[in-house]
Amino acid sequence: MTGGERRDLATGLAFISPWIIGFLAFCAYPVASSVWFSFCDYSVLSPAVPIGAQNYIDLANDEVFWTALWNTLFFSAVAIPLGILVALALAILLNFDIPGRGVFRTIFFLPSLVPMVCLAVLWQWLLNGEVGLLNNVLNVPLEALNALLGTSLAAPNWLADARYAKWGLVFTVVWGVGNAVVIFLAGLQDVPRHLYESAEIDGAGFWQKTLHITLPVLSPVIYFNLVMGLIGSFQVFAVPYVMTGGGDGPERSLLFLATYLYQNAFDFWNMGYACAIGVILFLLILACTLVLRSLSERHVHYAGK
């Protein structure tokens, strides 16, 4: 290393030193000690006692943990694709040359600004089984259908019914999709105009252009939103926690991995067990991200950058 290189290294490290300290204190150290604590009996109040893989064995036999894991996977599998689909559709619609585009963009974006606690309280109210706005809207077509066919369809009592509670949560995700809309819309500006023009000359319609031009060009942005959505929905906590009044919903239908981790850590002071859940949560995110990455290498199209 030359003197100049050594000086650059020292300057570079000096500039990033706040991050290095933060990384060690708030990421590397906690991740390492989470792994260590996951093999311990630990309550913060007394020193950790190593107990081998006992926490993991207990987790494997813990029905509540499996419920939380299933709920997290189910919720992610529904909410992430649905959110991306809605965001993509709205962005493509907004990309048309129509009056009031700016107003529409603001309207779709606003809900994503709503603080999570407000959002949870508001949707608890909207999803109310009897007087909630959503069911009052849904009941109009349902009653018409009932009158016509003699059926007795009714909108569910979302958050009070274990079968529908997670769908109630999915609504809140779809409503808050504005961030992704803005990102997609920005990505759409990068689609070269001439591609559309030559496709039109070849007689391609809207769907063909979307499928063969828009989606391939947008694929890096879709990938980005998938990864972000994955990390976000695997750690979902605040909205279901607040919606259920600090609980986990009927028949634990709104118990997620982060909720169960929180309960073990701060309700039962079973910190070692909580860390084991954390380690599994982290490995899940890691595994899914790696799978997405390998998929992206095959399907994501990066314009010659």
Partner 1 sequence: MTSPTKQNAGRLLVFAILIVAGVAFVAPLAWMVSTSLKPLNETMSLPPRWIPSEIQWRNYPDAIREMGNFWLYAGNTLLVCVLSVTGTVASSALAAYGFARIEWKGREKVFWILLATMMVPFPVVMVPIYGLFKDLGWIGSFKPLWVPAFFASAFNIFLLRQFFLALPKDISEAARIDGCSEFGIFFRIILPLCKPALLVVALFQFLASWNDFLGPLIFLTEQKDFTLALALQSFQSQQGGTSWHHLMAASTLVLIPVLALFFLTQKSFIEGIATSGGKN
C-alpha–C-alpha distance, residues 224 and 296, integer Å = 10
Q: Measuring CA to CA, which residue among 90, 87, 92 is closest to residue 213?
A: 92
By the 8 A CB rule, do 24 and 16 touch?
Answer: no
- Residues 47-86 within binding reach of partner 1 (CB under 8 A): none
268 binds partner 1 (CB under 8 A): no
Q: How far is CA 142 from CA 121, 138, 164, in A?
A: 26, 6, 17
| Binding piece for partner 1, criterion CB under 8 A, among 22-30, 62-70, 76-84, 161-169 | 22-30
Looking at 14-22, 61-69, 75-83, 144-152, which segment touches partner 1 (CB under 8 A)?
14-22
Output 110 or 153, the one with its CB closest to partner 1: 110
Alpha helices in 202-270 (DSSP H): 206-209, 215-234, 238-243, 257-262
Query: Is residue 185 part of the contact set for partner 1 (CB under 8 A)?
Result: yes
Indicate the angle between helix axes 178-188 and 63-94, nearest 10 degrees: 40
Is residue 8 a contact point for partner 1 (CB under 8 A)?
A: yes
Q: Measured in whole angstroms, how far is the alpha carbon of residue 82 from the centre of its chain?
A: 11
Beta carbon nearer to partner 1, 78 or 188: 188
**Which residues are 40's β-sheet partners?**
50
Contacting range for partner 1; rule: CB under 8 A; set: 62-70, 72-80, 278-286, 291-299: 278-286
> Residue from 81, 141, 192, 246 that binds partner 1 (CB under 8 A)?
246
Q: Segment 87-146, which members bind partner 1 (CB under 8 A)?
A: 90, 93-94, 96-99, 104-111, 113-118, 120-126, 130-131, 133, 136
94/166 with CB nearer partner 1: 94
